Chains A and B, each alone.
Chain A
Amino acid sequence: MLSVVALFGALMVITSKNPVYSVLWLVVTFFAISGHYILLNAQFLAIVNIIVYAGAIMVLFLFVIMLINLNRESEPNKNRWIRMAGAVAGGCLLLVIVAALKNTEFNTRSAEVVTGDIGLIKNLGKELFTTFVVPFEISSILFLSAMVGAVLMGKKN
């Protein structure tokens, strides 16, 4: 049921004519994915997914789309070559994804071994700050530098 919602939402994101609808369908998709996380007993991941993606990033998307006010009249006609190039690029991406997934085995076993509380916040925090502390800190520095860059670009004008 959740998977149906997720897939349908994702399809509607790309087939909707109106970009605002696309964003709203994307929010629906995020909710379905959060539902999956809850089924996996990863409550922290689920709620953070909602707070960060549905609650903040999608709002900013909506913001931009509402402000630039896309509609059929103002949108310039794309010529055929651009469409072709888009199709080729999309096909390449599909090829890469299929190639990457081809050799992975479905290790359903590991899901059975896990006791089910791996996604709870206590275990997640312990893992992040012991085993994965270096990648965690590096990614936070990456975010910080992105923020500083954005502020700098904003200040220039």
Chain B
Amino acid sequence: MFLLAIDWFLIIEKLVLVAFIVTLSMIVAMYATYGERKIAGWMQDRHGPNRAGPFGLLQPLADGGKLFFKEEIIPSVSNKFLFILGPALAMVTALLTSAVIPWGPSLTIGDRLVPVQIADINIGILYVFGVVSLGVYGIMIGGWASNNKFSLLAAIRGASQMVSYELPMGLALIAVLMLSGDLQMSKIVAGQLENGWNIVYQPIGFLIFFVCALAECNRTPFDLAEAENELNMGYHQEYSSMKLGFYLFAEYINMFISGVVMATLYFGGYDIPFVNEASWGIADYWLSIIGFVVLLSKAFFFIFMFMWVRWTVPRFRYDQLMKLGWKSLIPLALVNMLVTAAVILWLKK
């Protein structure tokens, strides 16, 4: 019987956390579409959506409803099973990453210490990296199953771009790992609380990571997978109704999650700069909530950066994209890694 003593509290706690974070990602992604259009409007001196509700705030709901009720067309020459699997995979891989992110300082409920993190596995960063590398499948399967030349071309572009940009991303991450000496996300954040944010030590690493995050999310200037003037629409050309919605939605969830990951890795996670919030002497659930809000606001800042870049920089040509990835970013990331290693070795001597 002793073996079967399941910690029910743990299961409930994790379930609540999972439900909360998935819902939160959905809502943030939903309003990121609104934010995107508002920011685009603002940058191009337009109004943006302003008809549905006050300031157009109900626009995402209206869009979602429209997508749900649209007619669903599955092309007769497509591969039905894979056609449905594609957007599902895109959505799942977009949401999976949130599992290892520490969302705030630990809570105390009763006499239990509850970490605000779904799974604090000791390979945290590698997990993020693994899920990102799986994100290619949603695009590739969707593009191939549509049985359309343009979709296939776009899917192949997207896949080769993501595979290429994973390398500098990984090399930039290695430098962060050398600083923190651990792969566990919670320890990386804890290390930054002690020694200051990683951005101070790794400005080049952050730049590389940011560019690669843009590429991994298929955002402009790297949105070659959906270059409408050469590929009609991209890998999701044959999709309609909510399947198309899933692809578009997955992109916004990816943006949110990569914003959170960047905040966690380089900007101290839930840390408030220049302030020791533990000395305020308020209850620790307030600290958790404040930390959570701080992390979210950092993530929103990155989402804003993504949008800013999108409406400022034109799209790359394909050969320019590959040249940037393989001939500039990878050598830069390698040099950054070596210099970091040398400096750490020198300081430790």
Asked whether A100 is an interface residue with its Cβ less than 8 Å from the other chain, the reply is: no
Asked whether A56 is an interface residue with its Cβ less than 8 Å from the other chain, the reply is: yes
Whether A47 pairs with B123 at a CB distance below 8 angstroms is yes
Q: Which of A2-10, A62-70, A84-92, A107-115 contacts B (4 or more CB under 8 A)?
A: A62-70
Contact with A along B156-190 (1 / 0, CB 8 A): 10011001001000000000000000010000000
Give the shortest distance, in Å, between A140 (CB) and chain B (any CB).
15
- The docked-state distance in angstroms from the alpha carbon of A20 to that of B141 is 9
| Majority DSSP secondary structure for residues of A touching B | helix
Whether A50 pairs with B134 at a CB distance below 8 angstroms is yes
Chain B contacts for A60, CB-based, 8 A: 163
Give the shortest distance, in Å, between A151 (CB) and chain B (any CB).
11
Chain B contacts for A56, CB-based, 8 A: 133, 163, 166
Whether B123 pairs with A59 at a CB distance below 8 angstroms is no
Whether B140 pairs with A59 at a CB distance below 8 angstroms is yes
Which chain A residues in 33-59 approach chain B with CB under 8 Å? 43-44, 47-48, 50-51, 54-56, 59
- The docked-state distance in angstroms from the alpha carbon of A50 to that of B159 is 16
For residue B126, which residue of chain A has the nearest CB?
A47
For residue B121, which residue of chain A has the nearest CB?
A43
Chain A contacts for B126, CB-based, 8 A: 44, 47-48, 51
Whether A47 pairs with B160 at a CB distance below 8 angstroms is no
What is the interface residue range for chain B against chain A? Answer: 20 to 34
What is the interface residue range for chain A against chain B? Answer: 20 to 34
Contact with A along B230-269 (1 / 0, CB 8 A): 0000000000000000000000000000000000000000
Whether B134 pairs with A54 at a CB distance below 8 angstroms is yes
| Residue among B82, B123, B166 facing the most chain A CB atoms (10 A cut-off) | B123
Which chain B residues in 113-136 approach chain A with CB under 8 Å? 121-123, 126-127, 129-130, 133-134, 136
Give the shortest distance, in Å, between A74 (CB) and chain B (any CB).
15
Q: List 12 A-B contacts (CB under 8 A).
A: A44-B123, A47-B126, A47-B130, A50-B134, A51-B126, A51-B130, A51-B133, A54-B134, A59-B136, A59-B137, A60-B163, A63-B160
Further contacts, 17 of them, CB under 8 A, given A27-B137, A56-B163 = A24-B82, A44-B126, A47-B126, A48-B126, A50-B134, A51-B126, A51-B133, A55-B130, A55-B166, A56-B133, A56-B166, A59-B133, A60-B163, A62-B144, A66-B140, A67-B156, A121-B122
